[in-house]
């Protein structure tokens, strides 16, 4: 039998405007939209609350945080995945590209081992058991400064729902950490490094870049094509770096660090993604360009929650207030990220789209979620 749900008397967030209306959901899909405040018999009265597409998250470290809540603590993975999934649903995220690092350093002072292949298999086992609330894809973060990147990429294939691959070059002294003192403060604060250990870390990464960097870039581009995944750059800083990104066929730029890089991205048709925490805090914790600066220049296309899932909706609403256009603000966390990774079936309140939806109202100047639906099923 067809399962139907009518959500009425809502402020519908459409791609270009907000209107009072209702929508009918049938079998997990938006079937019909009507304008007006009428509440038909049996419908849910949304009392004028905003009804928006579910949020689409392309870059989040949240799963890694659940897997390792403290340094050297390996939390049971199934429990961590389920907690991560429920947390995202509770913040309005209905599609997530779970970031997993590929490329490890099993030797030397700054050792870290691979984990992505095993963790992704556990994630898909839970998905097959219908244990997850929202839609999951993989985002493989390819670490150029590593020893095992190529062999780890080879462990994945087109069947693994790899939707996004990002080229990560964390060579000290460029991109995110052009200012070595910022990197030093970060590493000493997070990993309790002393002076000698930090210097060894810097030397090790630079040596790995010199030894493997060019090959790792080439193999990452090839792997993304093999997966059928969108390729993203990370922390582009100069127009020259953006030109290289464009030559690789990159379509999405994660967190460009300067206005110069963001302008070059738009000149090459590359979408710019910035961090929601950057927007909310008013600046980058690494001292790079502020998301607000790019927004005011018309250079911001997509927002990512990065390390704070609840920041995604809040930042989009803030952008809507800054731009004087709530619909435009919410596009940065719905339609824009979905289209940036080739998903045409979600991200809009429109007939035929997946019924991934959120209902929220404003409380004390911030959005308060009331309900979240994934394919028409309430999940939060």
Residue-range domain boundaries for the chain:
1-52+349-380, 55-345
Q: Whole-angstrom Cα distance, residue 334 to residue 350?
A: 12
Number of H helices, E strands in the chain: 13, 16
Query: What's the fold here for domain 1-52+349-380?
Result: Urease, subunit C; domain 1 (2.30.40)
Per-residue model confidence as pLDDT tens digits over 60-100? 999 999 999 988 899 999 999 999 999 999 999 999 999 99
Write out the CATH class of domain 55-345: alpha beta
**pTM score of the predicted model:** 0.91
> What is the number of alpha carbons within 13 Å of residue 106 lying toward its C-beta?
10
Which DSSP symbol is given to 365? T
Per-residue buried b or exposed e for 85-100, using 16+ beta carbons within 10 Å of the residue's own CB? bebbbebbbbbbbbbb
pLDDT at 283: 86
Q: Please give the mean pLDDT across all residues of the chain.
A: 91
Lowest pLDDT segment from 51-65, 163-177, 255-269: 163-177
Per-residue model confidence as pLDDT tens digits over 15-55? 899 999 999 999 999 999 999 999 999 999 999 999 999 99
| Banded pLDDT at 1 (limits 50, 70, 90) | very low
Q: Could you tell me what percent of the chain has a pLDDT over 70? A: 88
pLDDT at 177: 61
Task: Give the Cα-Cα-Cα angle 174, 225, 66 (nearest 5 degrees).
Answer: 60
């Amino acid at each position: 039998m067809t399962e139907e749900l009518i959500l009425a008397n809502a402020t519908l967030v459409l791609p270009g405007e907000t209107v009072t209306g209702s929508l009918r959901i049938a079998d997990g899909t938006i079937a019909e939209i009507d304008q007006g405040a009428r509440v038909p018999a049996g419908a849910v009265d949304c009392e004028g609350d905003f009804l928006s597409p579910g949020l689409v998250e392309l870059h989040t470290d949240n799963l890694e945080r659940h897997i390792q809540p403290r340094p050297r603590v390996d939390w049971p993975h199934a429990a961590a995945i389920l907690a991560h999934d429920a947390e995202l649903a509770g913040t309005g995220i209905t599609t997530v590209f779970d970031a997993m690092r590929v490329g490890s350093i099993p030797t030397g002072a700054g050792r870290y081992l691979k984990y992505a292949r095993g963790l992704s298999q556990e994630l898909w086992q839970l998905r097959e058991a219908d244990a997850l609330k929202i839609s999951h894809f993989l985002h493989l973060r390819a670490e150029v400064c590593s020893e095992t990147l190529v062999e780890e990429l080879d462990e994945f294939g087109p069947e693994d729902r790899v939707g996004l691959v990002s080229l990560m070059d964390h060579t000290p002294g460029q991109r995110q950490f052009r200012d070595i003192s910022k990197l030093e403060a970060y590493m000493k604060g997070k990993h309790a490094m002393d002076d000698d250990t930090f210097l060894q870390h810097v030397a090790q990464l630079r040596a790995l870049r010199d030894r493997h960097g060019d090959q790792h870039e080439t193999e990452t581009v090839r792997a993304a094509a093999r997966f059928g995944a969108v390729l993203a750059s990370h922390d582009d800083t100069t127009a020259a770096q953006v030109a290289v990104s464009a030559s690789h066929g990159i379509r999405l730029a994660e967190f460009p660090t300067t206005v110069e890089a963001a302008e070059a991205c738009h000149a090459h048709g590359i979408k710019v993604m910035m961090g929601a925490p950057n927007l909310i805090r008013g600046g980058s914790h690494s001292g790079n360009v502020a998301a607000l600066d790019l927004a005011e220049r018309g250079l911001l296309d997509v927002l990512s929650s990065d390390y704070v899932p609840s920041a995604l909706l809040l930042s989009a609403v803030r952008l809507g207030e800054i731009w004087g256009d709530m619909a435009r603000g919410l596009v940065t966390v719905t339609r824009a990220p979905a289209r940036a990774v080739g998903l045409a079936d979600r991200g809009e309140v429109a007939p035929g789209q997946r019924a991934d939806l959120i209902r929220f109202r404003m409380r004390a100047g911030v959005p308060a979620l009331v309900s979240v639906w994934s394919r028409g099923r309430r999940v939060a």
